[in-house]
Amino acid sequence: MTDQKRNKVFTPGKIGGLELRNRVIRAGCFEGMCPEGCMSDRLLEHHRAVAAGGAAMTTVAYCSVAKDGRAYGHEMWMREDIVPELKRLTDAVHAEGGAASIQLGHCGFFASRSAIGHQPIGPSRKFCLFRLSFPRVMNERDMTEVREQFGTAAAMAIQAGFDAVEVHAGHGYLLSQFLSPYTNKRKDQYGGSLENRLQFPASVVRHVRDTVGPDFPILVKMNTTDGIRRALEVEDAVEVAKRFEAEGASALVPSCGFTAKTPLMMLRGKVPTWMMAFNQTNPFQVLGLLMFGRFMVQEYKFEELFLLENARKIREAVKIPVVLIGGVCSTDNMETAMNEGFEFVQVGRAIIKDPDIVNKMQRGEVQASDCDHCNRCVAAMDRDGVRCVTVTDGPLKKWWQRKRVPAV
């Protein structure tokens, strides 16, 4: 393999009108660092460190386009009040030579009633096991309002200094709920065939494009499979990808899984049920996770590049850049992605484990992350914010030492 091919991941690349210093993007991994929906200094420092560590772009996640699109009270929602604070974050990232993207979405039927103050909305009256509730079925007025909210949020992101936005149309969020036959049971022009189910999500992407102009980068995170029987699969996803490209997407991030049904499918690895329960403040949630967590949160075996096969089908179907995500944790993985024709990779847990890992890889100091995919970082986000957890005290340490498995 030539040095040119081997080092492509560390060469500049473009998404829309944005040139990035290399091909590594910090994936949108919910941080849990926005008390009362506001940006914190910890969130700023988290993303500043990612930029200082060499990633070309860091993705702030998850930012709801409206207050009623949140799953947790500590999720950010876009509004004028927080634009100046977000500008502090983007300035800090830019000072380190990186770019900043923000992930915009809406939880739809699995929004938290306690966080939003009323019944969630969704494409159909589908029971949500995650919330033990039914949503209110969206009408045309609701769709128009949400569409406008996505556009307004994107415009505010530009005011806040973000270099790109990532529209979340995967993982069972609202746009994904319209795309999936699992949650979309409508009998009108927005349900039934894939073409009908695509109408609302595609109109959101088009509205964001019309709002931000022709060159501003819009990434779209989408599912290649929901991981549920009789739901969205890769053959449908190929058509979804083509439509998103036609509506103005600058790049696609093909992922998988349904937060309200198959929440760890998009991550793979261990399920730290005990620690998830330990980090809850509601005693009923603690009890529920301890008693039923194994039934509610399935375990999926971790493999490197676990989304490569499906993502390859998306890459072959479109002309815009496709970002490979899912088990990218070594320079070999990144080289494979580049050789397969992917223009960028998104990395989550490896950067959470070591924000400086991109610099270290570029200098040749390390070849792979030592993250063991225990997913305790996911459990940590509910209490102190996402981070690589080192257990140091009491019975939790002893329990985890018994459960811990060798690194993959």
Known catalytic residues are 173
Structure tokens at 143: 């769709």
**Cα three-residue angle 143-170-31, rounded to 5 degrees:** 105
Using the Cα atoms of residue 257, residue 107, residue 165 and residue 209 in order, give the sign of their dihedral.
positive
**Concatenated DSSP letters of 297-308:** S--B---TTTTH
Q: Compute the distance between CA of residue 214 and CA of residue 59 in angstroms, rounded to an integer.
A: 21
Q: What is the 3-state secondary structure (H, E, C) of 159-183?
A: HCCCCEEEEEECCCCHHHHHHCCCC
Pairing status of strand 13-15 against strand 18-20: antiparallel
Total Cβ atoms within 10 A of residue 28: 27
Q: Compute the distance between CA of residue 343 and CA of residue 213 in angstroms, rounded to an integer.
A: 23
Residues 6+ apart with CB under 8 A from 226: 172, 176, 180, 182, 232, 233, 256, 257, 258, 261, 262
Q: Compute the distance between CA of residue 323 and CA of residue 311 in angstroms, rounded to an integer.
A: 8
